Every structure is written in C-alpha cells, then in structure tokens.
Amino acid sequence: MKWIASALLAAFLLLLPLFAGDFYINLASQILIAAIFALSLNLLVGFGGMTSLGHASYLGVAAYLSALLASRYGFGHGMAAIISITGTVATAAFFGVIALRATGLGFLMITLALSQVLWGLAYRMSNVTNGDNGIAGLTRPMPFGILLDSAAAFYWFALIVACFAFLMMAIFVSSSFGSSLKGVRDQPRRMAALGFNPWMIRWITFVYAGFWGGISGLLYVYYNKYIHPTSLSTTSSAEALLSVIAGGSGTLGGPVVGATLVLLLKNYASAYIERWNMLLGLVFLFIVLVMPTGIVPGLAKLTARFRKGSQ
Amino acid sequence: MQFWIIQGLNSLSLGGLLFLLSSGFSLIFGLMRLANLTHGAFFMLGTYFAAITMREYSGLNIWVTALGAGLAVAAIGGLFERLVLTRLKTNPLGQVLVTLGMSFIISDACLVLWGGDSIPVPTPHNLQAPTRMFGFVFPTYRLVLVGCAIATAVALYFLMERTRLGAMIRAGVDDRQMARAVGIPVSNLFTIVFCLGAGIAGAGGVLGGPILSAYPGLDADMLPLALIVVILGGIGSLLGAFIGSFIIGFIYTFGTALFPELAYIILFLPMIVVIAFRPQGLFGRVGA
Amino acid sequence: MTPPTSEYALEIIGLNKAFGGLRVTQDISLKIRQGERRLIIGPNGAGKTTLFNQISGDMRPNSGQIRLFGTDVTTLAPYRRAHLGLSRTYQIITLFTGDTLEQNVTLGLLGLLPSRWQMWRPLSSYGHLTTEARRTLDTVGLLHLADHPISEIAYGEKRRVELAMALAQRPRVLLLDEPLAGLSNSERSTVKALIASISRQTTVIMIEHDMDTALDLAETVTLLNYGRVIVDGARDAVIADERTREVYLGN
C-alpha cells in the first residue's frame, strides 16, 4: 500500500510540468524550496529539541552572498555557490556557539535576536545590500550548460536538489549520530552520563541545519532572481516554524506537508485577503491550540484508529 | 565636550525608553517563564492609541493618555492570557508561538485600521520648550522620559518588595510549585502579571510616542530591543532590566554617533559579549 | 604516558557545596578502594544525592577535590568522567520511553565508542552492538522483553534496564542512586542478586535510604547527616556505632 502511494507521488512530482501550467509549476518550485527550508529547521526543532526563531538567517546569508558575488563581483554561479555556502556554514557555526550558551527559551530568544541583527544589517548597510530596494536583475545558474529559465527546467532542478536534501537528512537522522541527537533531546543528563557530549552534538546539528538552510537560500535566490531583507525577517523564520509544527515535528514528512500547506495558504489567501501576516498569526493560534502535534502525527493516529476499528 | 554631554543625555533618555519597554517583558518572563513575543506589539498599540486619540482631541494630556492606554492594553493582554495562554500551560513552546502569532495579528490590524504612514504623537505643550543647561539646549521631554523610567522603577520596586502581591510574585518566580503548595493562587497571579506587563508596555508606548511616532513595524523594531535588554540584564531581574536598559542606551547612542553604519551590530554586541561570559545575564540566576 | 593510578578508585577530599546559605555538603572526605562495595546512608536531606551529583559532574562543588583512580575530575564535564570509567543510575527513570529495551541499551553502549559521531549508518546496523546489548539484557534477565518498548514494561523491569545500561559499559566505578526504591519484594531480591553478582573489576557505591534492604550488599558504610560524614568504616562497626543509632532514632 505504501509503495503504491509513494510510486504515485513520485510519478506526480516527476511529470508535473507535462500537464500543469506555468503558474502551478512555479508554485511547486516554491513549495520545494520552502520544504527544504522547513526540513532543515526541523533537524533543530523536531530531532534536536532546539526551537529556533532565527533560521531565516541562513537562507538570507546564502541568498545575499550569492547575489552579491554573482552580480557585483562577477563570480560564476558555481564559485558563488561554494563561497555562499561556506559563508553560511561559518555564520551558523558562530551563531551556534552563542545561542547554545542557553537552552529552551533563552536559546529561542538569542536566535531571534541574532537573526534580527542580520535583518537590520541588510536594511541599513544599503551601500552593500541595497537596503530596502533589494538586489534585482539576478540570473539563474546553468548547471552543465542547461538553461533554467523556464518554469519546468527550474522545477526539475529544484526537485533534484530537494530529493537529495531529503535523502541526506533522512540518512542523518537515522544514523548513530542521529540516534545520539534524539537521545540528547529526550534525556540530556542521561546521555552525558553515558559519555555523549551534548553541546557538541547540538552544535554540529545546528551547523548542519544551517548548511541546508543555506542550500534552500540559494534555490530561493535563483528562483526569484531577486533578494530583499524580508527574506531575513522574523516572519520568514516564523513561516518555517509554522510549517514544521503544522506538519508535525520529529517526522521527516511532517515539515514537507506543513510547508506545502503554508505555501498554498499564502498563495490562495493573498488572492482574497490583503493581510497575510494576520492570517499567519491566526493560523499559528489555531494550530497550536487545536493540533499541537501537527498534521502528520494526527493523520497517523487517525489511520491507526481506522485500522484497529476495522479489525 | 558638548558632544559628550548631548550624547550622554540622549543615552539616558534612550535607556529610560528601553526600561519602559522591557520592564514588563522581564516581569512576564520572570514569573511565567514566558518569552512574550507580543510585547513589541503591546508597546506599539500604546503608541497608536496616543497618536490617534491625540490627533482627534488635541488638548489631551499625555499622562492621562498613558494611563488610558495602559489600562486598555492590559485588558487586551488579560483576555489573551485567559483565553489562549492558560490553555497552553503544558506547552511552553506553544505559548511562545501564540504570542508570536498574536503579534502578527496586532501589527497587521494596526496596518489595516490606521494605514501605512507614520503618525506622530505631539509632545505635551508644557514640555515643548527646551531646557537650557551647561550653555546649550536639550529637548525637555527626553529628560522627562528618564524621570518616567525612574518613577516606574521605583513603583515596581515598591510593588515587588513591599506589598503582599509582590511577595507572592517573588515566591512564584523563585519556586512555582512551592508557591502553589503554600496556597498562592499562581494562575491568577499569572493573569495579573501579564496584564501588568502588557499595561506598562502600553503606557510606555504612549510616553515613547513623541520620540518614536506610531508606524507599522514599530513592534518589530522594539521587540529585539526588549530581548537584548532582558538577555543582557538577566531573566527575571528588574534591576537587571534597569541597568541593562541604560547600558544599552549608552552603548547604542555613542556607537551610532561614532559608527553609524554598524548600528545594529553595536546594539547586539554587548548582549553577545555578556552571553559568552555569563549565560544567565548580568543579574540573572543560573538555571533560570 | 600512563595516567596516574592510585589504590583508591574514588577519593573525595574536603568537598563543600552550599546553595546560598544552605550548606548541603560540608567538608566531606572519603576514600573508596578498587572493587569495594560501599553503602552511603543517611536520612532525607542528608546530602547523599547531592554528593553523587558532584561525583558524576552534574553539580560543581564550591571547594574540595574529587579523584577518580588518581585523576582529578573535580571540574571535568560529566561526559568526560564516563570516558574515565564512571557510570551511574538515577533515582528517577531516565530511559528513552519510545524505544525498545534493545535500542536503549545499544544507545548506552554507543556512548564510549568513536562510532557515535558517524552520520550515515543507522545504529541498528551495528550487529556487534545489538548482540552485546542483548547479552547485557540477558544478564539482567530481560532478554525476553528486548523488543518491547520501554513504555510497556513494569517499573521493576525499568529499574533493571537502567542497571543494564550502566553495566553495559563495564564501568570501573558504578554509582547506584537508590536502586531498590519502589520495588516489590520479589523484584528487590532479583535486583539485589544482580548487584551482588557485579564483577570485582567494578567498584560499587550505593545510596540507599532504607538501611535494612541494602546492608547485606555492603562491605563498608558511610553515614551522612546534614551534609557531613558522621560515621565511616566497615559495615558492622558502623551499625554498632552509637552515633548511627542517634541519627536514625532521632528521626
């Protein structure tokens, strides 16, 4: 049963551009980017037990670095990507050292505060970042000489990256390091007594999550061909957190489902409602009050009950 | 010489403003262990309240307005606490998320109701004349703001140290379960403290109005400042919030005067330095 | 360079710890030999668990020294002490409730191994670890429950899993914090037999609140009260000591 569903899903994803119009293909690309971003955050939130409200930092740093290197300093996309991701990982390493001086709410507040620095810098250092105007007129890369300007081509590119990201993160969380991460999440004292180094485990995860956040940032700036400080805002971090929580943290599929829902909501709601932020806030309240564990675990429970009931 | 004195006075007034903003946040965090991310929005509501009412009724006294805003925002806060936060007692992460959601709702509501332009708050007439001191002029209202912060600090000190309510709050901060065990009505206390914190923020928003003006995004500008002050000064410590406010006030004012481009980094640097050496903040308790 | 050794597995020298005005550990000095079975007793609030917390590194003393086989570990992080051969169980159950018994013990085995940093192979693929985990579960009589989740087993069985996790790492010094608390009589004799069968390669230090149950496991006894060592020595001598009776009769 599971195999059939997976195969159908795979076929749908692969063949989407053949039967859908550009609008939907582009929407799907955005969902893929948001999914990678949410998955990277979930490494911290769901598997690491560290709730961060500053994850947009890594998306933004990668996006801005790539934009600046490519448009202003004439770097090729490949080199720009490498330097951007290196810069993002360095940022995550530095931020991680600071944020991990605390846990729980202290950690949350520090990640929020740090991402606000970056956001503020992006706005104020306008001779570098162009401030509120953002950086426009960017181009998409041409891996192996293939043009990514069409909606379909970019979609397949994003799909490949997303599948790779999903696979890598799946391997990560089920590895022995992943087991130790989950252990530190659940019983940090016990883990330390067993010989595990909780700080190092958390910090490595923080940096890895920042890495994939950066990858999603690269896709983001390639897709939009434009970058603006709002990508570094708390709203951006909050949307990712909502995706994780709505979909269900602690599972791999949850953030993907959550990101899909948040993005669809954003797209369709904005046709009818002017104020996305207010809707986002209400959705936050709704999810937390009504479905705190998220949709994927909720559905899993329902299907389990269904199966038991039909026996 | 003049530069240093003017910047010094500016620092004091910024510090005063920051204390009005962050004292409520610190109170709420200290007792309820809740990082109230709606705090910036509560402050902004106060500023908008002042801007709108004083636009309609030009003779309105700013102190009365501050009181009115304080009560109104306290009421909103109380409703939110009772209807939403109490349902999430076992979900501290959920509590933080709903305060975030609430801040989005409030900030967008302000945008819908009052538009995207900045609305100024008039300085009270009797304080408009600048003060002459040391041979130069300085806006009087900014000095008054420092006075307001000190008055608030003194009032809060008396509340916390000399009243029964304050004793109960301090007991709840120290050991919530023990406080409950000796019969202190902790959940009612939570509501009172949340209202108090929100109310101070609202009143602070009014008092800060003449300097800041009401504009969309004020909440997003203010919240990180409250965070920095509380992280620096120590969670749950009003003294920490007081001293932290003025430290940040000084460092930010002098920093931006000397290195304007790096304003944001300068703002966060003291917090980062303190965290690196003393994660619990200057006056916080370990394990808070 | 060989690490400094000592005839003492654990040495505590002049340990002090205070919380504000409350002195929970007052000038405690203890010497415990390799292979010894030491019981630490004392009424509630005597500071027994606080002492354990300082030995394991969960708490830092205000002054004094702790030496593990001659190495000064006073300020060493808890995980490093595990690598020096220290292991402990806790008063409360600190197992991973969603996982099976085998998964719990396997994770416990991973703590001292370099493969805990490896990021691509799942833990379940380490055949030799899962075999060792099952073998350990067998020694505590729980092999038949190896694939059950922790949430489904009885309290007494959970205590035995805690013991299994601590023993699996073949520690040189084992701290047992009230291992018999809350157990039924039959469970108690099972766990006691297990503790009695621990190899002499491991030094065992036990806290028990209820003297009678654990006495026959002990060779030496230390009596604590108000954070101080009151009596310290061979079991029979401590029991016969007048001060012991004073402390317990006074409660």
pLDDT in tens, C185-201: 888 888 888 999 998 99
Contacts of A104 in chain B (CB under 8 A): 92
Residue A300 Cα, gap to closest chain B Cα (Å): 21
> In the structure, what pLDDT confidence band is assigned to residue B285 with cuts at 50, 70 and 90?
low
Chain A's closest residue to C126, CA to CA, is A176
Chain B's closest residue to A125, CA to CA, is B261
- C217 compared with A169, residue with greater pLDDT: A169
- Tell me whether C112 touches chain A (CB under 8 Å): yes
pLDDT of residue C1: 46
Q: Count structural domains, chain A.
A: 1
d(CA C6, CA C31): 11
d(CA B261, CA B280): 30
d(CA C84, CA C174): 12
Burial C205-220 (b: 16+ CB within 10 A, else e): bbbbbebebbbebbeb
The closest alpha carbon to A60, from A10, A121, A125, A15, belongs to A121
- Tell me whether B79 touches chain A (CB under 8 Å): no
Closest in A179, A192, A193 to C107, CB measured: A179
- Res. A309: pLDDT tops 50: yes
Residue C31, helix vs strand vs coil: strand
Closest in C82, C112, C118 to A177, CB measured: C118
Each residue's pLDDT tens digit, B39-55: 999 999 999 999 998 88
Domain of B19 in residue numbering reads as 2-277
Question: Does a structural domain hold residue A217?
Answer: yes
Q: For chain A, what is the mean pLDDT?
A: 89
> In the structure, what pLDDT confidence band is assigned to residue B288 with cuts at 50, 70 and 90?
very low
Question: Does a structural domain hold residue B141?
Answer: yes
Give the end-to-end CA distance of chain B in Å, rounded to a whole number.
43
Closest in B94, B261, B268 to A124, CB measured: B261
User: Is 0.80 surpassed by the pTM of this model?
Assistant: yes
Domain boundary assignment for chain C: 1-78+173-184+209-251, 86-170
Kindly state the helix (H) or strand (E) to which residue C27 belongs, with its residue range.
strand C22-33
The mean per-residue pLDDT over the stretch B118-147 comes to 80
For the CA atoms of A96, A102, A104, A109, what is the dihedral angle to 10 degrees? -70
Contacts of A98 in chain B (CB under 8 A): 272, 275-276
Each residue's pLDDT tens digit, C241-251: 888 888 776 54
Pick from B120-124, B230-234, C48-52 the range whose average pLDDT is largest. C48-52
The closest alpha carbon to B236, from B86, B26, B82, B18, belongs to B26
Q: For chain B, what is the mean pLDDT?
A: 85
Residue C20, helix vs strand vs coil: coil
Given this chain, do its domains C1-78+173-184+209-251 and C86-170 carry the same CATH topology?
yes
Cβ partners under 8 Å of residue B162, min gap 6 = none
The mean per-residue pLDDT over the stretch A4-11 comes to 86
For helices A56-71 and A198-224, the axis angle rounded to 10 degrees is 50
Q: Count structural domains, chain B.
A: 1
d(CA B28, CA B39): 10
Chain A's closest residue to B88, CA to CA, is A289
The closest alpha carbon to C81, from C195, C202, C171, belongs to C171
The mean per-residue pLDDT over the stretch C213-231 comes to 88
Residue C128 Cα, gap to closest chain A Cα (Å): 14
Q: Tokens representing C70?
A: 């001659």
Question: Does a structural domain hold residue B287?
Answer: no
Please name the chains neighbouring B, where neighbouring means 3+ C-beta pairs under 8 angstroms: A
Domain of A68 in residue numbering reads as 19-233
d(CA C31, CA C11): 5
Q: Is A199 exposed, middle or buried (0-12, 13-18, 19+ CB in 10 A)?
A: middle
Q: What length is written for chain A? A: 311
Task: Look up the CATH superfamily of C1-78+173-184+209-251.
Answer: P-loop containing nucleotide triphosphate hydrolases (3.40.50.300)
Domain C86-170 fold: Rossmann fold (3.40.50)
Question: Does a structural domain hold residue B130?
Answer: yes
A38: left (phi over 0), alpha (psi -120 to 50) or beta: alpha
